[in-house]
């Protein structure tokens, strides 16, 4: 039976930090489902469809990466797609506190789904989508923070 994990997030937009986690996740799992979470309380720059398309473009040559989206509980979505692991990236200690609470809650809700924490690589630990959008909006250099297709989409979306 192939091992399948779900890597959930807002990915607004996907960054090189996210990509590093996905690439390393593929060393552990046969298939990784990168899942864009629908969160109506969160104001996003890109639509769900735009975010999914950017991710698809980045991984278009890798059949082991599937792109999806979901609303509701991550553990329920994970079960629905036939996975039993939620992959989460950690940048700093501050991330761990929140993620630990979520992992424990998810375990209570669905004992058969595990959460695997993976540390972001040292070359990416400072990257987050919010900062990327802010730097781009101020005309700063973002090409080392995101894939080329995302840099183009950000500049276009921001009218730069």
The residue segments making up the domain with residue 86 are 4-125
Report the chain's terminal Cα–Cα distance, integer Å: 47
Q: Could you say which of 18, 88, 124, 133 is catalytic?
A: 18
In a domain, 42, yes or no: yes
In a domain, 135, yes or no: no
136 part of a folded domain: no
148-157 and 48-58 helices, crossing angle to 10°: 150
- pLDDT tens-digit map of 85-103: 999 999 877 788 889 999 9
91 labelled catalytic: yes
Which position has the higher pLDDT, 125 or 96? 96
Cβ count near 142 (within 10 Å): 21
**Which H helix or E strand runs over 70?**
strand 65-70
How confident is the model at residue 122, as a pLDDT?
A: 82
pTM for the structure as a whole = 0.93
Report the alpha-carbon angle 120-61-131, nearest 5: 35
Mean pLDDT of the 133-156 span: 94
42 in catalytic set: yes
Set 56, 79, 91, 157: catalytic member? 91
Asked if the structure places residue 153 within a domain, the reply is: no
- Structural domain count of the chain: 1
Whether 41 is catalytic:
no
CATH number for 112: 3.40.50.620
């Amino acid at each position: 039976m192939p091992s399948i994990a779900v890597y959930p997030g807002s990915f607004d937009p996907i960054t090189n930090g996210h990509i590093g986690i996905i690439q390393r996740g593929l060393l552990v799992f046969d298939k990784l489902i990168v899942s864009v979470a629908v969160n109506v309380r969160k104001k996003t720059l890109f639509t769900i469809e735009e975010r999914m398309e950017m991710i698809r473009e980045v991984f278009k040559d890798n059949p082991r990466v599937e792109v999806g989206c979901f609303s509701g509980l991550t553990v329920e979505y994970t079960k629905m797609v036939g996975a039993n692991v939620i992959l989460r990236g950690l940048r700093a200690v501050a991330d761990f506190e929140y993620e630990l609470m979520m992992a424990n809650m998810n375990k209570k809700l669905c004992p058969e789904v595990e959460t695997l924490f993976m540390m972001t690589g040292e070359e990416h630990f400072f990257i987050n989508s919010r900062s990327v959008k802010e730097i781009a909006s101020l005309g700063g250099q973002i090409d080392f923070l995101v894939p080329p297709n995302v840099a183009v989409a950000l500049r276009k979306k921001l009218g730069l």
